[in-house]
Amino acid sequence: MKKPTKNTSGRGQRDLTVKVKTARGRSLSSTRWLQRQLNDPYVKKAKAEGYRGRAAYKILEIDDKYRFLVPGARIVDLGCAPGGWCQVAVKRANALAERPSKAQGRVLGIDLQEVEAIPGAEIHQLDFLSEDADKLVMAWLDGPADVVMSDMAASSSGHKQTDHLKIIALCEAAAEFAFDVLTPGGTFVAKVLAGGAEGNLQKLLKSRFEKVANVKPPASRADSSEKFVVATGFKGPLVQDDPDA
């Protein structure tokens, strides 16, 4: 089934590309996906280092640049399955108190489906769009969050523009949730798909955060349209107009 290519470079040992033949009953696209997985260095690295998926390296690389997963931080991971982002957050926020000299953080994972327990993280099966979800999250955290992050993606329809609009709507909903639970100065990170409908999201975030950046970390595949929005310096709740003023 799998046939490794020959190493003819003469430059010593190295990982060899694995070619996958299309098996009966398996589509060409499935075969390509399998071949890409077998040859993806981030997939191999995730297995070796104990992460639940290659996506862990996306948030690692983003945080290396923006430094929001700090010891003592209260972090909410929306759509946390399978748990790779939570694993990274636990380590960087010192949620397991592995370094006593550092402040101990809190990591809260939220997902519609049941997620296998992650040491150092508190996992809840919850729809973040449900009524009072923000209040529940702050109660579980014993206060507001310093970081709200999301690697969520809506179910694919197979139509690029439709999928783009669906993930932008999901990201906007996650942003609105973040506005309700973040502490002033907090950070919001979310995955989006490039496609032309990001304008309203960018405008919304720029009105509520000091800085908004768009980044495609090295771990994000070059042929993928995904990118990540990083909004830092939350300005805090909007001041409501007093009707009696």
Q: Which residues are annotated as a binding site?
A: 83, 85, 111, 127, 151
User: How far is Cα 76 from Cα 143, in angstroms, rounded to an integer?
Assistant: 12
CA distances from 194 to 8, 24, 26, 169 (A): 39, 35, 30, 13
From the list 44, 135, 160, 191, the catalytic residue is 191
User: How far is Cα 159 from Cα 75, in angstroms, rounded to an integer?
Assistant: 33
Report the amino acid identity of residue 86.
Answer: C
Nearest to 197 by CA among 165, 155, 229, 166: 165
191 catalytically annotated = yes
Q: Is the CB of residue 124 less than 8 Å from the CB of residue 138?
A: no
| Binding site residue list for S-adenosyl-L-methionine | 83, 85, 111, 127, 151
Q: Is the CB of residue 243 less than 8 Å from the CB of residue 232?
A: no
Which residues is 213 bridged to in the sheet? 230
DSSP 196: S
Active-site residues, by number, are 191
